[in-house]
Amino acid sequence: MSLELRALLITCEHGGAVVPAAYRRLFAGHARLLASHRGYDPGAANLARRLAHRFHLQADVARVTRLLVDLNRSVAAPSLFSSITGPCSAAEKIEILRRHYLPHRQRVLGRVRRAIREHGTVLHLAVHSFTPVLGGVRRTADVGLLYDPSRAAEVAFCRAWQRELAAVMPSLRVRRNYPYRGRSDGLCTSLRRHFDPRTYVGVELEVSQRFARSAGAASRALQIGIETSLGRAAARFGLRLRGLENRSVLP
């Protein structure tokens, strides 16, 4: 298909495990839970910021724990509130949404609208990470690229990005629409309801936390591989990302 990308937007919905002061009483005794993958996406915020810095952009990173409210779920989702905040009153939940959910969602929506208005098309990259083992089952990927199979531009971009990742890091296990489905409830899914597939391309990047929790050479190599392959894939669709010009990675 013919697709020309003109702007890149980077977000991270599970970037921290911060508990606002007004709700700390609810989380007393839950320090280990907050520090786990249930509290946030380890490594996702650092990766989002690194990509944004490399490409001279500003990442929109949410730092409030997903155990307060999950910014990557719709307001009707059963998992919007955790077992900790689920028992809160309706009034308390409305206040949580007003203070800590809607600002991020509305800010990203506004940024997408501006990008489309100013540039015509936008690639929205939502950065996340996943636990390598869930429920005793080991995930068989290092990186996942999530998209809506019914949107041709997203399919084309993710196929191109997968090829570029394989070229840069041949040993990396990259799967599309794994470990989750790109059409599952999430911010990108929500934004697709607002924007035409010819102007909005939403991709969720999922990175295994076996890299994200590490500060070693493997983690650094993966970060470089992701930014390099992303730059190459974007260039194939007309989007030349600043920050890679002097690294000889664009074809």
Cβ atoms of residues 181 and 147 within 8 Å: no
Half-sphere exposure in the Cβ direction for 184 (13 Å, CA): 11
Query: 164 lies in a domain?
Result: yes
- Domain membership of residue 239 (yes or no) is yes
Q: Flag whether 250 is in a domain.
A: no
Question: CA 119 to CA 97: how far, in whole Å?
Answer: 31
Average pLDDT over residues 207-214: 84
Q: What is the mean pLDDT of residues 39-54?
A: 96
Asked if residue 212 has pLDDT above 80, the reply is no
Q: Is the pTM of this model over 0.85?
A: yes
Query: At a CB cut-off of 8 Å and minimum separation 6, what does 171 contact?
Result: none
Is 251 part of a structural domain of the chain? no
Residues 191, 109 contacting (CB under 8 angstroms): yes
Integer Cα distance of 15 and 226 in angstroms: 18
Specify the number of domains making up the chain.
Answer: 1
Q: Indicate the pairing of strand 60-61 with strand 8-12.
A: parallel
Q: In whole angstroms, give the CA distance from residue 168 to residue 165.
A: 5
pLDDT digits (tens, 9 = 90+) for 140-187: 999 999 999 999 999 999 999 999 999 999 999 999 999 999 999 999
Collect all residues with Cβ–Cβ distance below 8 Å to 211 and sequence separation of at least 6. 43, 142, 218, 219, 222
Asked if the structure places residue 53 within a domain, the reply is yes
Residue 36 lies in a domain: yes
Distances (CA, A) of 231 to 46, 115, 154, 189, 249: 18, 19, 16, 24, 8
- In contact, 192 and 74? CB cutoff 8 Å: no
Query: Residue 144 domain-assigned?
Result: yes
Q: Is the dihedral of CA 42, 85, 102, 150 positive or negative?
A: positive
- Mean pLDDT score of the chain, rounded to an integer? 94
Residue 215 is predicted with a pLDDT of: 65
| Per-residue pLDDT tens over the stretch 95-127 | 999 999 999 999 999 999 999 999 999 999 999
Domain membership flag for residue 2: no
Range of the domain at 30: 8-244
Residue 187's domain is classified under what CATH number? 3.40.630.40
Range with lowest mean pLDDT among 83-92, 147-156, 237-246: 237-246
Question: What pairs with residue 200 in β-bridges?
Answer: 122
Exposure b/e, 125-151, CB count within 10 A at least 16 = b: bbbbbbbbeeeeeebebbbbbbbbeeb
Please report the pLDDT score of residue 193 as a whole number: 97
Cβ-in-10-Å burial (0-12, 13-18, 19+) of 106 comes to exposed
